[in-house]
Structure 1
Amino acid sequence: MKHKLFLLSIILPVLSSCQEAASTAGRQSGKTSSKSVPTRVSEIPPPEGCRRYNGTDTGFATWLRNVSLKKDNAVYLYNGQLKGNQDAQYAVLDIPVGHKDLQQCADAVMRLRASWLFSQGRYDEIRFADNNGRMYVCPPSPDSSAFERYLQTVYSWCGTISLAQQLRTVHWFNDIQPGDVLIRGGSPGHAVIVMDVVVNNNNMNEKYYMLAQSYMPAQSIHILKNYANKDGSPWYDVQQANRLISTPEWGFYKDELKRW
């Protein structure tokens, strides 16, 4: 019995030190039991072998990638209620919705563009037209409250029809870049914004893009899943965009891609 106790007194410390070593090795290798949750758009991993692509609007592309994501991945309506469909979103942007049913699809696109220009102090470039061509220009050097009041006015008078008229058509879909907009003007119409684009390191023609939307009623701006991907990935393949681009709640045609 004494011999057994002596052997246990040797074996137990060795087992304990082995477990500690294994635990330390796991921490050092970066392996964890759960997936890391992205906190901003740039942390959403691209398809394997791809890198981020800016296009010509580098400043806007960088800003979009730095938009923070909410920890709560639920989509809420302007009144605080949960949206009925909670299966369309991959992630939710940490962007205010407001308390009125105003910041819908085109409005969310205009908010993102205006917020970037606001962050750069480029107030005179923040301007949106209504259906009759009347231009709503941001007041000079507004504080955050004045900026929000300006956006409320824009949401009230501008929409998919006017924004589609204001933007320029992108004639070659493969030229898609961050900040571009897929938009169909109408009542109803719809608009989604290209949040990010990546290209294959070995083939520039192999390109993928990520889309975000608000919808009706006004709701959290969210990054859309691509239902064609079994893993729920948000990346859309340019080469697989034949004539119709199917998103979870709307379909667009390739010739509906537009640019600021």
Structure 2
Amino acid sequence: MVDGYNQQLVDAEGKIIKDRFKPPVGYERINYKKNEFGYFLEQLPVKPIDKLVTYYNGRTKDRRDIYASVVDLPIGKRDLHQCADAVMRLRADYLYQNKKYNDIHFNFVSDGKPRYYNKFADGDYSYSKYWKYLEYIFAYANTASLHDELSTVKSMDDVRIGDTFVQKGNPIGHAIVVVDMVVNPKTGQKLVLMAQSYMPAQELQIINNPINKSISPWYALSDEVIRTPEWKFYSENLKTWN
């Protein structure tokens, strides 16, 4: 066991999620088409295994027991890219990469109404304008608005890659996203990898499993309570984009 995860399930040389994390014995990945959300998430780049999570201000998150790897994506210089923001960002990045501009929209917490990327871009689809849109969303959307925007998954047996655990919280909530999934073809049981950002704004990280370290960082969603290193979720918190 190394830093909270099973070393046999982690390939330090892997440069994307799919190559960094090995399925436990008896489990297989699902094949996704290149235009699917699952494919996009499995292909997310990860930093070298020894890299620490960096906050927006350049400081580092030294608690290596929390995470197994750092997702290699920029987060900006403002204290905005927190938990729900990172979840929305991944969904938006996938849609932006596939030029599905009409589908990029997120609800504000103030009125529950969507703000559309197409309208914000006004014909300018450059990455710099896109990032401005994201920071606009980050500033006025949160776990509460994300929770209300997404549909509830009836059973954790139905979990899919890209689904999100979201808690509104009072005064604060949290959100984590399923970024990879494997299935046991004999039993149908699923294991998932999950990623989070947190407060203050920080890089996305693949979180360890503090309850079952033998399969960490994979999680088996077989219990009503999902205990992660920094939060506790319940089965009813599982949400989906579609």
Out of 65, 68, 78, the residue aligned to residue 45 of structure 2 is 68
Decide whether the 8 Å contact of 2:89 with 2:134 is kept in 1: yes
**Residue equivalent to 1:135:** 114
Mark the CA change 1:57 to 1:128 in structure 2 (over 3 Å): closer, same or farther. Answer: farther
User: Identity of paired residues, percent?
Assistant: 38
SS at match of 2:60: coil
Out of 193, 202, 215, the residue aligned to residue 186 of structure 2 is 202
Aligned runs of 1:12-27 on 2, under 5 Å? Answer: none
**Residue equivalent to 1:246:** 227
SS at match of 2:53: coil
How big is each residue's C-alpha offset from its partner over 1:51-107, in whole Å with a ceiling of 9 and x where there is no partner? 113699970000000001001431111000012533201111011111110000000
| Alignment length (residue pairs) | 224
SS at match of 2:54: coil
* Pair 1:42 & 2:18 matched: yes
SS at match of 1:203: coil
Deviates more, 1:43-52 or 1:151-160: 43-52
SS at match of 1:117: helix
**Residue equivalent to 1:51:** 28
| Distance of 1:116 and 1:200 partners within structure 2 | 27
Flag the structure with larger Rg: 1
Aligned runs of 1:1-260 on 2, under 5 Å? Answer: 36-43=12-19, 44-53=21-30, 59-71=36-48, 72-131=50-109, 132-138=111-117, 139=121, 140=123, 142-186=125-169, 187-204=171-188, 206-231=189-214, 233-239=216-222, 242-260=223-241
**Residue equivalent to 1:8:** none
| Distance of 1:47 and 1:84 partners within structure 2 | 27
Deviation, 1:37, is 2.5
State the AA in 1 paired with 2:235.
K
Decide whether the 8 Å contact of 1:192 with 1:213 is kept in 2: yes
Decide whether the 8 Å contact of 2:53 with 2:70 is kept in 1: yes
Decide whether the 8 Å contact of 2:33 with 2:39 is kept in 1: no
Identify unmatched segments of 5+ residues in structure 2. 1-10
Deviation, 1:228, is 2.2
| Distance of 1:56 and 1:175 partners within structure 2 | 20
| Distance of 1:90 and 1:229 partners within structure 2 | 14
Q: Which has the higher helix share?
A: 1
| Distance of 2:22 and 2:161 partners within structure 1 | 16
State the AA in 2 paired with 1:137.
Y
Deviation, 1:232, is 6.9
Alignment root-mean-square deviation, CA: 2.1
TM-score (norm 2): 0.87
| Distance of 2:65 and 2:124 partners within structure 1 | 40
SS at match of 1:217: coil
| Distance of 2:81 and 2:69 partners within structure 1 | 18
SS at match of 2:193: strand
